[in-house]
Structure 1
């Protein structure tokens, strides 16, 4: 008895059909054949995803800065309490949700390349449910922030402000359970320009929202937190409005399905290591801030650390966009059974990352004496910041390639490798180097950043080794093998093929060269906006 497959009859059907046929049945190749042509073509595809994503990351960074500026206007106590709360929520909440949502990358990216449309929508539903489940213990932790900070010996007045900010940020936790999966869902399909415009419009409204809530209605710290949550909610509503009225969702969304409530483990198996890989790096920057507080000049060291972390957050927008984009590109090509193109996508992205790294080094070195004045006029803090800025630039020589390389690993469904590398690089290399240089060899503040440099160097070397030794044909065959050899999940009851698509009966022999209609999560089993303030990660 034959099987059924979805065949698209629209303008893209010929291209997809030729890609799926064995090489002996294909006609003359229309794709660029020379290496230069392939690189140029890939740069166009990568740029089409990366440029809007980078712009979106930059816009969300501006939103974060507006919130920080409003806290500063309220006073030093409010700024300190807000910063403490932001650090706590990043560590315990936003990094976790962002990391778990990154588990969608290989599933949606490869499913899109393989034209498993229904699987993309099903993965979105499962991820939302997983994030909602994860938000329950996170919210309980946030509710007890004041007790936790007092137990850790924090100042009572600062803790009270931090607790207030955290309490009014709880709606944002719920919003992130939808915003993070939506971004991956759209990016995996190459729908990035609308995300950029929706984010820009939401951030434009963020400024008057802060003025209204914080200064006109005099809500103070709660007003800043409410404005941030409201802005994220606006982003989600704008994205949903775009999806609804553009009707681009119809290919992949068949409505909520009971299938979304079962077979979570294949997604969990990718989401958990993705979460660990991202959190291990984010958390290290918070550890860096804590270590700065133990130096002989803690006030200046912590103040300079805050400036430098904001600086790395700004520079991180580019490698983060490259990471997200190459994850999509590699996933699309592997899912479509094109391992050579997946390899080209990875190499081109790493080349762009190297250029960006050199640019960041030049920028950090050239502006070292003026950049800090945007944040403070305290001369000691400025001197400390200027002395370390070149080190921050050197860190980017490792950060840009390793962040991009981690995107390659996510796109090829290998987030566990990235998690192991981050654990070893940041905690077995970076932390000991930072502690020894800063405290035992008396290098002080610079010693901490030499620790980061060592961590980034170790991470970059390890990630690049894994990427360069990848057997791309094996990775593609893994994806195909898993999709053909595992039980399928049921489609939503009201799922119907999209317009310009019809279902054709095929013999068993014919169907062997095509992916089955029924998608399987096992088929894909094989990482800058959560709240972006005060750490280098964003999204």
Structure 2
């Protein structure tokens, strides 16, 4: 009877534990959600400015943004995500040397990847003409891509630095730096676009200037606040710490990072590319100007709704990774459960917003009657997609935190391209539903994706994942299995890569 009660207590967390986990997720996720909203505001300003320039500029800007997302930003974001499981678990296990090295190596990987990406951006116009895109739209879109080339350098530093800080639970500085850069962005974009009358090139210039400003403010923060404070979220001082001397070779560390980067890149790109593929396919519909303009509004809408799932995904990845690295599989399971519960609630917010405010939202971007009618037809479908998108995105964060990026990539491959793409193309082109049919394809992909990821998370063996984390990050310290109340521990952290741990045993005097 006693054993049964103990097992029951171990299986189900208490209300206090759930509330504590909600607080921890909120501490990490709230600044990320706010930062995503601020970043979205910056991107929305760009699209609104394109709409004010004219329907041609809005269509060309949508095509350019879709192309740069497919070939550039998604690749850099995906490659950077490969450092997430390593950083989160390394911080949880107090392996700060691996944490810093992963940051430097990821920046180098992204800078190297930017070289072939820049060549693609320069060749946008001939490539789009070969694909039989509209010449006028393509000509304006190519200008945007050429002037946006410096943004690749900015993102090569920004993505790794954000993940590095987030893995340590340092998210508020990300919000303040991004907010300050966005405030400066508003007068800059107006100056370049309308005052200097640069048009679309001015919009591209103002975009990378904003990112460089964000990077500058973050570097100032890391310079003036180099030390890391101890986080109770990732280190439980109620259990003794035992030192180990596990080391990895340089080649194995690079190989591990590259493997995670490639897997994460594939997973991120496959999902991201579907949204941009919808923009490209819209150019082949009967009225490409209206379809492309509407798809641009859809991208902005999904980007706004993505702020909550993205925050939950980042929080769950950090919390799960930290707890697994610290040797706390039960807390990692609790973190994943709480994050998924919040994801279900936030998905309802997106559904209500796109259904109730579809007309007013469409008028923010365009006053064209045809564009507005098509926008109001597809936004409710996008809202239904959010019911699957939010838990699915959060589940991907859980998989990243537990270093299972390959599973997420495989799920995205079959869900979006073996399910969603055939359904969307069939409905959009064969049954001639147009952009509405492409959105139904997205809905089919989201359903397949969320079901698969939730099944993977449900059947996760967290004890096994905790053991994998110990092997993965080659931690300097781990939690021992026993609990001795007669031991007093003092952890002194001097620098990010140096931790001095003293275990003082006192068997006669208890604190």
TM-score under structure 1 normalisation? 0.80
**Cα deviations by residue, 1:245-275 (Å, 9 ceiling, x for unpaired):** 1223699xxxxxxx98984211011111111
Determine if the alignment matches structure 1 residue 498 to structure 2 residue 477. Answer: no
Q: 2:497 & 2:296 partners in 1: Cα distance?
A: 53
Determine if the alignment matches structure 1 residue 416 to structure 2 residue 406. Answer: yes
SS at match of 2:495: coil
Aligned residue number for residue 202 of structure 1: 181
What does 1:98-497 align with in structure 2 at a 5 Å threshold?
Answer: 98-248=77-227, 263-483=253-473, 497=494
Q: 1:171 & 1:221 partners in 2: Cα distance?
A: 15
Q: 1:123 & 1:427 partners in 2: Cα distance?
A: 32
Quote how far apart the aligned CAs of 1:34 are: 5.0
Contact 2:351 2:384 in 1 (8 A): yes
Q: 2:200 & 2:374 partners in 1: Cα distance?
A: 30
Quote how far apart the aligned CAs of 1:484 are: 5.3
SS at match of 1:153: coil
Q: Which runs of 5+ in 1 are unaligned?
A: 1-30, 252-258, 487-495, 507-539
Aligned in 2, Cα 1:311/1:206: closer, same or farther, shift over 3 Å?
Answer: same
SS at match of 2:170: coil
**Equivalent residue in structure 1 for 2:22, among 43, 47, 52:** 43
Aligned in 2, Cα 1:263/1:40: closer, same or farther, shift over 3 Å?
Answer: closer
Quote how far apart the aligned CAs of 1:379 are: 2.8
Q: 2:365 & 2:475 partners in 1: Cα distance?
A: 57
Q: 1:188 & 1:485 partners in 2: Cα distance?
A: 16
Aligned residue number for residue 52 of structure 1: 31
**Cα deviations by residue, 1:429-463 (Å, 9 ceiling, x for unpaired):** 11111122333344444322221111000000000
Aligned in 2, Cα 1:246/1:97: closer, same or farther, shift over 3 Å?
Answer: same
**Cα deviations by residue, 1:334-358 (Å, 9 ceiling, x for unpaired):** 0000000000000000000000111
Q: 1:502 & 1:354 partners in 2: Cα distance?
A: 40
Contact 2:95 2:497 in 1 (8 A): no
Q: 1:332 & 1:182 partners in 2: Cα distance?
A: 18
Aligned in 2, Cα 1:459/1:114: closer, same or farther, shift over 3 Å?
Answer: same
Contact 1:243 1:249 in 2 (8 A): no
Aligned residue number for residue 85 of structure 1: 64
RMSD across aligned positions (CA): 2.7
SS at match of 1:337: coil
Q: Which runs of 5+ in 2 are unaligned?
A: 1-9, 231-248, 477-492, 504-511
Contact 2:339 2:394 in 1 (8 A): yes
Quote how far apart the aligned CAs of 1:136 are: 1.2
Aligned in 2, Cα 1:71/1:186: closer, same or farther, shift over 3 Å?
Answer: same
Contact 2:354 2:380 in 1 (8 A): yes
Aligned in 2, Cα 1:462/1:439: closer, same or farther, shift over 3 Å?
Answer: same
**Cα deviations by residue, 1:170-222 (Å, 9 ceiling, x for unpaired):** 11101111000000000000110110010000000001112222333333333
SS at match of 1:370: helix
Contact 1:250 1:498 in 2 (8 A): no
Quote how far apart the aligned CAs of 1:389 are: 2.2
Aligned in 2, Cα 1:78/1:442: closer, same or farther, shift over 3 Å?
Answer: closer
Using CA pairs below 8 Å that are at least 6 residues apart, which structure has the higher relative contact order? Answer: 1
What does 1:1-20 align with in structure 2 at a 5 Å threshold?
Answer: none
Q: 1:362 & 1:218 partners in 2: Cα distance?
A: 39
Q: 2:221 & 2:351 partners in 1: Cα distance?
A: 38
After TM superposition, the structure 1 stretch with the greater mean CA deviation from structure 2, 159-168 or 438-447, is 438-447
**Cα deviations by residue, 1:29-72 (Å, 9 ceiling, x for unpaired):** xx9x9521111001000000111001111111111112222333
Aligned in 2, Cα 1:302/1:70: closer, same or farther, shift over 3 Å?
Answer: closer
**Cα deviations by residue, 1:514-538 (Å, 9 ceiling, x for unpaired):** xxxxxxxxxxxxxxxxxxxxxxxxx
TM-score under structure 2 normalisation? 0.84
Q: 1:218 & 1:443 partners in 2: Cα distance?
A: 39
Q: 1:149 & 1:169 partners in 2: Cα distance?
A: 17
